[in-house]
Structure 1
C-alpha cells in the first residue's frame, strides 16, 4: 500500500485564481485543514470513495457519484479510499452563472448546499478524463470545448434524480452546530451577498444583515476567507457580468447596471482589474472565438467528439 499523501492548504485556507478554470483527474491528497476558493467545485468519483467535511454537513461520495458545491465556504477532504480516483474541476462563477439549472438549486448551492446525483454512467468516466486533457492542453479551442461540454453535463442533472444536502444556512435555521471552520457570521455574510450583490450594497448593509458592526464584519470575513468584503462583492458582480456579456444581445452599459455597478467607469475599472481587459474587449473575444472545424464527409457530416 502506497504512503498516503497529504495536502497543506495556504495558511489562510484560500485558493487563488478565482476566474481560472482548473480541472483534475487524479488520486486526491487528504487535506490536513479546510480550504476555500471562490469557485463552484464539481467532483466525480471514478473509483473508490472520498469523505468531505462541509459547512453544515459531512458527505461520503462513492464511485459513480457526481457532486456540485460552492467552494466559497470552507471544506475539507479528510479521508478517502486508498485506491480513490476523482475527477472534476473548480468552475469560475462566470460559468456557474451561465448554467441553466433550476433557480432554487443555484440559490441553495450559493448558500452552501451540496448537490449529489447517482445518475451517471460509463460516459462520465471517459468525458471527465477528456475534459481534463483538453483543459490542460494549452489549446484555447480545446479548453473552450471542455468548459462547454462540462456545463452541458451539469445542466443534464435537472432531468435526473438528485439530492440537495442542507447548507450552513439551513443548519443554522435548524439549530445544528457547525464545525470550527465555519463561522455563522461568515455564513450570514455570504448568504446576504449571494442574494444582493446586484444591488447597491456596502459593508454597512452587509454587516447589518449579519447583525454585527461593519469593522468586525470586514475583519471576520477577511480572516475567514482571505478576501475583503469589497473584493468578494466585486468578484460576484464581475463574474455575473461576464456571463451576461457572453449573450448576443449584451449591451455593456446595461450589463454594468444589471451587475450592480453604479457607473460605467466603475465597471470598466473593476473589470480590467480582475479580467485583465475591458468589458468591450472581453465581449469581442468571446464572440470571435473560433468554432470547432467541421469536416464534410460523404454522405454524412463529420464532427469533432
Structure 2
C-alpha cells in the first residue's frame, strides 16, 4: 500500500447532487471504505495508476486509460501511485442514457461491469483539463460546451477496442448492438430528477413519459437492470446523505425532505443500502477527523 492519505466517502459532497453533473481533475486520496452514488463515473488517468475494489471484483487503471462504471455499485479507491492524477466526472443517468453507446455496453455498465479502453491519445489529457476549467468558470456557455464535448468523447469509445470487465466474465470488442436507448428512459430520468423529493410513484412517472405504467417499468428495468422504485430510492438516499451532514437537520426532517413518506421506510432502506442507520451514518461522519479533499466542481446544463 502506498503512503497516500485518506479521504472519507461522503465528505466531499458528491452525493448531495445526485441529479447534477459533477466533474473533477485532481490527485485523489485513498478511501477508507466503499461508497456509492447514483451516477455513472468517468475516470481518465492522466498520470500514475489507480486500483479500485468494485462490488465483487478489482480493477487497475494506468496512465492513458479511460474507464466508466456505475457508481450505484459500492466501489473504493484502495491503492494508487504517489503521482496519480485522474480526471472525469459523475454522469447522472439522464445524461448517460442520451449517449449513443452499444446496447451491450449500456446494459453491462448498469449491471456492474467496468468499461475500459486504452485507445486514447495526447488530446485527452488536454481536453479533460479544459472541460474541468470550463465547468469551474461558471460561464453557462462554457459549461454547456464542456458537457457536450465530454459526452461526445465517451460516445467515440464505440469505434475503438474496449473491454467490459466484471467479476464474472470479460467481454471485448469494438462492435455492438446499434439499438439506441429508448427516449422514454430519458423522459423518465428527467422527471425523476425534477421530482424525486415529492410523493411520486410509477403511475406519475409513466404519465410524465406518456406511456403505460407497466411499459415504463419494463423499459426502465431492461435498460438499467433496476426497477423504477430502486432508482428513485437511490436518488433519494444520495440526497439524504448530504442532508445528514448538516448539524441542524434531524433524521425525521431528512426523511421528509428526501421524499420518503415515513421515518420507518427511510430507516429500513437506509440500512439496506448504506449498511447502517441514518443516525449511525451521521455519528460516524462527526467522529471523523477533517481531511484535505480534492477540489471538485459541479454544474448542470442540457445535453442536446
**Could you say whether these structures have the same fold, taking a TM-score greater than 0.5 normalized by the shorter chain as the test?**
yes
Equivalent residue for 1:194?
Answer: 224
- Alpha-carbon distance in structure 1 between the residues aligned to 2:14 and 2:142: 28
Equivalent residue for 1:143?
Answer: 143
Equivalent residue for 2:270?
Answer: 222
Equivalent residue for 1:55?
Answer: 55
- Alpha-carbon distance in structure 1 between the residues aligned to 2:40 and 2:232: 24
Shift of 1:223: 2.0
Equivalent residue for 1:85?
Answer: 85
Change (3 A) 1:226 1:17: farther
- Alpha-carbon distance in structure 1 between the residues aligned to 2:147 and 2:160: 21
Equivalent residue for 1:163?
Answer: 163
The secondary structure found in structure 1 opposite 2:137 is coil
Gaps of 5+ in 2: 170-219, 234-263, 276-299
Change (3 A) 1:137 1:164: same
Equivalent residue for 1:110?
Answer: 110
Equivalent residue for 2:177?
Answer: none
- Alpha-carbon distance in structure 2 between the residues aligned to 1:193 and 1:62: 30
Shift of 1:34: 0.7
- State the superposition RMSD in angstroms: 3.5
Equivalent residue for 1:43?
Answer: 43
Gaps of 5+ in 1: 172-189, 204-215, 228-281, 290-305
- Alpha-carbon distance in structure 2 between the residues aligned to 1:52 and 1:9: 14
**Whose relative contact order is higher, 1 or 2, with alpha carbons under 8 Å and at least 6 apart?**
2
Report the TM-score when normalising by structure 1. 0.57
The secondary structure found in structure 2 opposite 1:98 is coil
May I ask how many residue pairs the two structures share in their alignment?
197
Change (3 A) 1:197 1:130: same
* Mapped contact 2:65–2:116 kept (Cα < 8 A): yes
* Mapped contact 1:46–1:86 kept (Cα < 8 A): yes
* Mapped contact 2:3–2:82 kept (Cα < 8 A): no
The secondary structure found in structure 1 opposite 2:82 is coil
Q: Deviations over 1:99-156 (max 9, x none)?
A: 0001111011011100000000110000000010111111111111111101100000
Equivalent residue for 2:154?
Answer: 154
Change (3 A) 1:120 1:202: closer
- Alpha-carbon distance in structure 2 between the residues aligned to 1:156 and 1:193: 20
The secondary structure found in structure 1 opposite 2:15 is coil
1:124 aligns with 2:154: no
Report the TM-score when normalising by structure 2. 0.57
- Alpha-carbon distance in structure 1 between the residues aligned to 2:222 and 2:270: 16
